[in-house]
Chains A and B, each alone.
Chain A
Amino acid sequence: MAVSIFIGFVVFLLWLSWFLGKKARSADGFFVAGGQIHWFVNGIALTGGYLSAASFLGICGMIAFKGFDGYLYSIGFLSGWVVALFVVAEPMRRLGKYTFADALGARFTSRPIHLAAGISTLIICVCYLVPQMVGAGVLIEPLLGIPHYWGVILVGAVVIIIVASAGMSSTTYVQFIKAGMLITFSGVLVAAVCWRGLETTPDTINVKGEKVAHYTFRTIPVEAGRSWEKHLAGTSFEFVDTIESGTADGSPRTWVLLKEWMPLEADADGQTLRVIRRGQRLPVVQDPSGGLGVDGEDAARVLADKPGVKADAVDLRMEDGRLVAGIKGWWMLKDAGDGNAYLYEAQDVTYSPRGGVTINGLPADSENVLAPMGRIARFGARSGHDGQPGPVNPFRLLAVFADPETEVELPRATRLTHDGAEVTLYCHKQVAGNELMRPGGHFAISGGHLWGRLDFISLMIALFFGTAALPHVLIRYYTVRDSTAARRSTIVAISAIGLFYIMTLFLGLGAIANGVLNPRTDNMSAPLLALSFGPVLFAVITALAFATVLGTVSGLIVAASGAVANDLMDRFLNRSMTEKRKVIAARITAITVGVLAVILGILFRGVNVGFLVGLAFAVAASSNFPAIIMVLFWKRTTAIGIVSSIFVGIAVSLSIILAGPDMFSIYGLSRADAWSPLGQPAIISMPLSFLTLVVVSLLTKNTRSALSAEL
């Protein structure tokens, strides 16, 4: 059911693209849809191109895992439109033809400018494409039950077909429809969250549509000075091992490995003995011949008699006449702050050196998956919420979360090595409501963290100035008739995007409140929230998010193709190409860029896509933004100044990103070993790019007349 809704939607979009694409055969049609798109349609399509998978998946996910810092991206992404509309839109419209480079070219005829602009457009497009691809893979994984990389390849293939066969006209209408539906269904989801209300033990629904009772992760009190054996005497637990891991603040954390003896239940056909855990019925012992018996039979004797019977990764023994399995699980030892220490139940994914993967002590398969995490553990008194489910008004919902006495539990991951196996542990972290709902969950802006503060300021700068410099946003200024229409389009886009971004806050918090977080990837939080309301809503939201990826990716690939066909080949290499050959060159680029994005999308799996998009904004703000602003507003700008500033912006911003702590943790290295203490580059790279432009322009002012002579 869910799968058919999903596939139906995608096929509909492909058909639409093909149908509308028949109208776009000339070069003008391929790039800017012949300038015939209505401003309202164009405005919503702008929204569609802008609300990428990052907006939907990344922001909601980051809010669900890190709180308000995810919402910083919403604020920043929207605020960027102010610069785009008030300062850049109108003059660009008057100057431009196809691309950012053409707008620059309206003032200078300089081949290096086309080279610089073409390269920066390509790089920004690829930076922006990667998170879309990561998002696509994450979406497909649970729905179709295929691995992440197949999801990425599928999106790549579909988009390459759309773009290479049709071009811009199709993407405008695809994005129009998709953006309209995305906003509508997000509204439905927000209303559903408010209608259901808030409680501490929310039930949920799994991908098959079965209801799953809320699972509250357990705690075991621990007294100082007693041995583990004494603590665990009389319980079903047995001490196995203990190990320490480092934490971000440098203090060690103790993890304890316990074996829990759990009773087994036989299936009616006698083929499988299962353990019932967190609503999952997981096979532990299997005998295809059905000889395990059901009632009263001595299972242990059966096991001893049948050599073909397999017990995976667990110990078996008899206890009070029943067969029990000893399953290993990790617990985190932590001081509760009230003088007592507790063991907090964790989940784990373990990659053994022999190649096997276990989840929570049993072999990983489609049945044995990590339990969803996150919840509101306690409601503060200030908000006066009684903890009963039922309709809550939206402002009240925000107030409940912001209460300092409200306590939420959010999943956190720790990696360590145990017995040669790579273990990733997921445990809840308790966060006070007021800390969740203010900046600082991701960026360390409190205390003496200088670099955390600079990262935060740097991100806000990149988001504010990056929007106006994104190539796939700029290109749409030219798809309407005149300046007035372009302005109206942008206002439609701001309204729609603003409305959507307000909703992301509710979706992220709703995912916490409904306890649906997948600890392995924050990117799935919004679709999983939809799943808690039923598989139909899940399929629709997933299809929309998938379509969001398709729309954004196709817009980006068109921009990249334009950059190569117009700037690099036609202008820089000075090949006077016919219209037909330009379109062929653009299509070849579309395929190349698409394939590159697929490869990078597979490599960056599991990274928050909002974060990755933020980096694309930083590159755009550093390379294109200074050039655009100075060309529009500083008469002494020279072509060489622009070229230098674009290259300095790209080089500095990319270097800081790649050498920064966030990337080092993505590479699997320690954040402390990063070459650059700063992860967000804009605070350095953007001023540096401006400075380069001004200095080089002043130094080369004599060449201006020479360049003008080329006109």
Chain B
Amino acid sequence: MDADHSRVTTNGGAIQYKQRLGIVLCVLYALVYAGFVIVSVYDVTLMDTVMPLGLNLAVFYGLGLIVFALVLAMFYSRACALSEGREAAGADAPAAAGKGRDA
């Protein structure tokens, strides 16, 4: 079973950082997503509100959720790449990885 763990290429620091970042971003997204559901259930006529570009709130929020997912995904990817790069560069200096984790 342990053979599988040989696939791990980075050490614990970057893994923990990525995991925590991922959960934070996911919760953030879930809150915005829940907002959409709550507005719809609370009073669906609020979704008629006119937003910029002449869109109604339903379409604006819906498109926004898709774009927001993209933005978060790119941010996450960048942050992970930076963290992995930092760790690779600082392999001789564990303190650097530690700092990265706190950031």
Q: Which 4 pairs, one residue from A and one from B, show the smallest C-beta to C-beta distance?
A: A399-B54, A86-B22, A438-B47, A402-B56
- Residue from A81, A106, A457 within 8 A of B1 (CB atoms): A106
Contact check, A464 vs B30: say whether CB atoms are below 8 A apart. yes
Task: Give A50-102 interface residues, CB cut-off 8 Å to B.
Answer: 68, 71-72, 74-75, 78-79, 81-83, 85-87, 90-91, 93-97
Given the known inter-chain contacts A97-B4, A445-B44, A494-B70, please indicate yes or no for A82 contacting B80, CB distance below 8 A.
Answer: no
B74 at the interface (CB under 8 A from A): yes
User: Are B55 and A395 touching (Cβ within 8 A)?
Assistant: yes
- A90-B69 contact, Cβ under 8 Å, with A438-B56, A439-B47: no
| B81 interfacial contact with A, CB 8 Å | yes
Q: How far is the CA of A109 from the CA of B1 in the complex (A)?
A: 9
> Which segment of A265-273, A364-372, A485-493, A583-591 sits at the interface?
A485-493
In the complex the two chains form, is B37's CB within 8 Å of A502's CB? Answer: no
User: A665 CB to closest chain B CB, in angstroms?
Assistant: 23
- A79-B29, A484-B84, A494-B70 are known contacts. Are A85 and B76 too (CB-CB below 8 A)? yes
- Specify the chain A residue showing the minimal Cβ separation from B46: A438
Known: A82-B29, A95-B4, A445-B44. 6 other contacts (CB 8 A): A398-B59, A434-B56, A437-B58, A438-B45, A456-B40, A491-B77
Residues of B within 8 A of A85 (CB): 22, 73, 76
A446 part of interface (Cβ distance < 8 Å): yes
B4 touches A106 (CB 8 A): yes
* Interface residues as binary, B57-69 with A (CB distance below 8 Å gives 1, 0 otherwise): 1110011011101
- Closest Cβ–Cβ distance, residue B23 to chain A (whole Å): 6
User: Which chain B residues border A456 with CB–CB below 8 Å?
Assistant: 37, 40-41
Interface string of B87-98 (1 = CB under 8 A from A): 000000000000
Q: Is B33 in contact with A460, judged by CB distance below 8 angstroms?
A: yes
Residue pair B69, A494 in contact (C-beta under 8 Å): yes
Instruction: Name the distance in Å between B21's Cβ and chain A's nearest Cβ.
Output: 8
Question: For residue B66, which residues in chain A have a CB less than 8 angstroms away from its CB?
Answer: 74-75, 78, 498, 501-502
B19 at interface, CB cutoff 8 A: yes
Q: Which residues of the partner chain B approach A82 to less than 8 Å between Cβ atoms?
A: 25-26, 29-30, 69, 72-73
Q: What are 9 A-B interface contacts by the 8 Å CB criterion?
A: A68-B59, A68-B62, A71-B62, A402-B58, A446-B44, A456-B41, A457-B37, A460-B37, A487-B80
Partner of B7, one of A75, A94, A440, A453: A94
Please, how many angstroms separate the alpha-carbon atoms of A711 and B70 in the complex? Answer: 41
Mark out the residues of chain A between 448 and 483 whose CB falls within 8 Å of any chain B CB in the assembled complex.
Answer: 453, 456-457, 460, 464, 482-483
Cα–Cα distance between A434 and B29 once the two chains are bound (Å): 27
- What is the chain A residue whose CB lies nearest that of B69? A82
B18, B37, B47: which has the most chain A beta carbons within 10 Å? B37
Chain B positions 1-40 with a Cβ under 8 Å from a chain A Cβ: 1, 4-5, 7-10, 15, 18-19, 21-23, 25-26, 29-30, 33, 36-37, 40
Separation of A96 and B67 alpha carbons in the complex (Å):
30
Contact A75 B65 (CB under 8 A): yes
The docked-state distance in angstroms from the alpha carbon of A87 to that of B25 is 9
Interface status of A208 (Cβ within 8 A of chain B): no
Report whether B84 and A86 are in contact in the complex, using a CB–CB cutoff of 8 Å: no
Which residues on A sit within 8 Å (CB–CB) of B57? 438
Q: Which residue of A lies closest to B58 (CB)?
A: A438
User: How many contacts between A and B, using CB within 8 angstroms?
Assistant: 145
In the complex, are the beta carbons of A79 and B7 less than 8 A apart? no
Contacting pair A105 B23 (CB below 8 A): no
- Asked if B19 and A91 make an inter-chain contact with CB atoms under 8 angstroms apart, the answer reads yes
Assess whether B8 is in contact with A94, with CB atoms less than 8 Å apart.
Answer: yes
Chain B interface, DSSP helix/strand/loop, else mixed: helix
Chain A residues touching B, range: 35 or more
What is the CB-to-nearest-CB distance from A531 to chain B, in angstroms, rounded to a whole number? 26
Supposing A396-B54, A399-B53 touch, asked if A440 and B44 sit within 8 A by C-beta, the answer is yes
Contact partner of B59 (CB less than 8 A), chosen from A437, A446, A711, is A437
Number of interface residues of B (CB under 8 A): 48
- Chain B neighbourhood of A79, CB < 8 A: 29, 33, 65, 69
Max chain A C-beta neighbours (<10 A), residue from B63, B69, B77: B69
**A648 is an interface residue with CB less than 8 A from chain B:** no
Q: How far is the CB of B26 from chain A (nearest CB, A)?
A: 4
- Write out the residue numbers on chain B whose beta carbons fall within 8 Å of the beta carbon of A482: 7, 9
CB–CB A445/B33 < 8 A: no
B23–A86 contact, CB under 8 A? yes
Q: Which of A438, A440, A490 is the most central at the interface, judged by chain B CB atoms within 10 Å of its CB?
A: A438
A490 to B18, CA, bound (A): 15
Q: Is the CB of A398 within 8 A of B55?
A: yes
Taking CB as reference atom, which chain B residue is nearest A439?
B40
In the docked arrangement, what's the CA distance between A672 and B15, Å? Answer: 52
Which residues from chain B contact A484 at a C-beta distance below 8 Å? Answer: 80-81, 84
Chain A residues with Cβ below 8 Å from B41 are 445, 453, 456-457
Tell me, yes or no, whether A29 is within 8 Å of chain B by CB: no
Q: Which residues of B contact A91 (CB under 8 A)?
A: 19
Give the CA-CA distance A331 to B26 in the complex, in Å.
52
Cα distance, A491 to B79, chains bound together (Å): 13
Q: 1/0 per position for A149-166, CB-CB distance to B under 8 A?
A: 000000000000000000
Residues of B close to A487: CB separation below 8 A: 76-77, 80
Q: Which of B1, B10, B84 has the most CB of A within 10 A?
A: B1
Give Cα A483–Cα B57 distance, bound, in whole angstroms: 38
- The answer on a CB contact under 8 Å between A502 and B44 is no
Known contacts A75-B36, A494-B69, A502-B63; is A87 also within 8 Å of B26 by CB? yes
Residues of A within 8 A of B8 (CB): 94
CB distance from B90 to the nearest CB of A (A): 17
Say yes or no for A187: interface residue by CB 8 A criterion.
no
| Among A72, A78, A94, A95, contact of B69 (Cβ-Cβ < 8 Å) | A78
Distance, CA A68 to CA B45, complexed state (A) = 13
Complex Cα distance, B69 from A536, in Å, reads 35
Chain B residue contacts of A109, Cβ below 8 A: 1
- State whether A402 and B59 are in contact (beta carbons under 8 Å apart), knowing that A82-B29, A456-B41 are contacts in the complex: yes
Inter-chain CA distance A86–B17, complex, in Å, is 12
B58 neighbours in A (Cβ, 8 Å): 68, 402, 437-439
B56 / chain A contacts, CB cutoff of 8 Å: 399, 402, 434, 437-438
Residues of A contacting B26 in the complex (Cβ-Cβ under 8 angstroms): 82-83, 86-87
Inter-chain CA distance A106–B19, complex, in Å, is 18
Nearest A residue to B30, CB-CB: A464
A327 to chain B, nearest CB (A): 43
Q: Are A90 and B70 in contact (CB under 8 A)?
A: no
Identify the closest chain A residue to B37 (Cβ). Answer: A460
B73 x A494 contact (CB < 8 A): yes
Q: How far is the CB of A187 from chain B (nearest CB, A)?
A: 16
CB closest chain-A residue, reference B55: A398
Any B CB within 8 A of the CB of A383: yes
Smallest Cβ distance from B56 to chain A, in angstroms? 4
A439 and B44 in contact (CB under 8 A), knowing A79-B65, A79-B69? Answer: yes
On chain A, the residues within 8 Å of B48 by CB distance are 402, 404, 434, 438
CB distance from B19 to the nearest CB of A (A): 7
Could you tell me the distance between the alpha carbons of A234 and B18 in the complex, rounded to whole angstroms? 79
